[in-house]
């Protein structure tokens, strides 16, 4: 069985943020991830991790444009300085929490923006983030996201994610492969995952349609998890789904493992 961690941005929302760490541990998870830990002091999160024996697997950079609120700061050539400030904050939290990686953010292309300039800005920003995160032993992660949920997203297939990593040319940049997003965009999940395995730094999953827990949709997750083992994947797999009811009642798939 792969190492399964809970995404407590999506799961355990019945609880306040810090209490989600306790709830995840009670449910049997040994690792957690969260997009936005920044509302809490690092020391407060560290205390919950230590209390519960949890590994903090990944966090996300905060990439909302302060002017528009759109989560596409890495694509904006006139706001590189702000992005670099966000990288510094992510480095501080990731190092303090002992993360293996940081989702460095992408976002949709702004209306009227030049796609080539947006892409070049993104690649340059990715290279910078990879370099800064490497200093504290943390991976810079690139996550393609489906255009059904987020129209206009710059990178929306695994091949596009790999091209950006190649163009950035930094060994600390790795792919964050999300089975939910890639089922929507390209399918052929197991063969694609096997091909890209050397470049994959983290895995996430949810079922589709609906982005609910495994067993509610079309993806055969018992088969997927077996294949991760057979292929020798050694990393974590983050459950990033919207529980169809109370989180604790959505864990039959996890108990079965």
Burial string for 139-150 (b: 16+ CB within 10 Å, else e) reads bbbbbbbbbeeb
pLDDT value at position 119? 98
Name the active-site residue from 33, 132, 213, 240.
240
pTM over 0.85: yes
pLDDT value at position 224? 97
Structure confidence by residue, pLDDT tens digits, 7-63: 999 999 999 999 999 999 999 999 999 999 999 999 999 999 999 999 999 999 999
- % of the chain exceeding 90 in pLDDT: 99
Q: Quick one: pLDDT band at residue 229, thresholds 50, 70, 90?
A: very high
Dist. CA 257–CA 252, nearest whole Å? 9
Angle between helices 189-196 and 221-231 (to 10 degrees): 20
Name the active-site residue from 143, 195, 218, 248.
143
Structure confidence by residue, pLDDT tens digits, 112-145: 999 999 999 999 999 999 999 999 999 999 999 9
**Both tokens of residue 95?**
């190092």
Dist. CA 89–CA 95, nearest whole Å? 10
Q: Is residue 143 annotated as part of the catalytic site, yes or no?
A: yes
Dist. CA 234–CA 68, nearest whole Å? 39
pLDDT value at position 2? 87
Residue in the block written with tokens 């920003």: 125
Averaged pLDDT, 204-229: 97
Q: Please give the full DSSP string across the chain, using - where no structure is assigned.
A: --EEEEETTTS-TTS-HHHHHHHHHHTT-SEEEES--TTS-HHHHHHHHHHHT-EEEEEE-----TTT--S-GGG-GGGHHHHHHHHHHHHHHHHHHT-SEEE----BPPTT--HHHHHHHHHHHHHHHHHHHHTTT-EEEE----TTTSTTBS--SHHHHHHHHHHHT-TTEEEEEEHHHHHHHT--HHHHHHHHGGGEEEEEE--TTTS--TTSSS--HHHHHHHHHHHT--SEEEE----SSSGGGG-HHHHH-
**Both tokens of residue 252?**
């039959």
**What is the overall mean pLDDT for the chain?**
97
* Omega of the bond leading into 209 within 30 degrees of 0 (cis): yes
52 and 21 in contact (C-beta within 8 Å)?
A: yes
Q: Measuring CA to CA, which residue among 177, 187, 165, 154 is closest to residue 231?
A: 177
Averaged pLDDT, 100-108: 98
pLDDT value at position 1? 79
Q: Is residue 116 annotated as part of the catalytic site, yes or no?
A: no
């Amino acid at each position: 069985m792969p190492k399964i961690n809970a995404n407590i941005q999506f799961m355990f929302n019945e609880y306040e943020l810090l209490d989600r760490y306790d709830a995840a541990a009670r449910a049997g998870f040994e690792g957690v991830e969260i997009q936005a830990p920044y509302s809490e002091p690092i020391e407060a999160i560290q205390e919950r991790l230590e209390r519960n024996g949890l590994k903090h697997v990944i966090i996300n950079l905060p990439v909302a444009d302060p002017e528009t609120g759109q989560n596409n700061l890495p694509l904006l050539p006139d706001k590189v300085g702000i992005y670099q400030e966000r990288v510094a904050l992510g480095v501080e939290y990731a190092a303090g929490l002992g993360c293996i990686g940081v989702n460095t953010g992408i976002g949709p292309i702004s209306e009227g923006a030049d796609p080539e300039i947006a892409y070049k800005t993104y690649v340059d920003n990715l290279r910078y983030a990879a370099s800064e995160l490497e200093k504290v032993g943390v991976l810079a992660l690139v996550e393609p996201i489906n255009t059904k949920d987020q129209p206009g997203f710059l990178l929306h297939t695994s091949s596009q994610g790999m091209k950006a990593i190649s163009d950035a040319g930094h060994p600390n940049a790795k792919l964050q492969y999300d089975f939910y997003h890639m089922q929507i965009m390209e399918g052929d999940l197991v063969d694609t995952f096997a091909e890209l395995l050397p470049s994959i730094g983290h895995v996430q999953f949810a079922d589709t349609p609906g982005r609910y827990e495994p067993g509610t949709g079309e993806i055969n997750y018992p088969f997927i998890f077996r294949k991760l083992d057979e292929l020798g994947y050694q990393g974590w797999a983050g459950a990033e789904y919207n529980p169809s009811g109370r989180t604790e009642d959505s864990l039959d798939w996890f108990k079965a493992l």
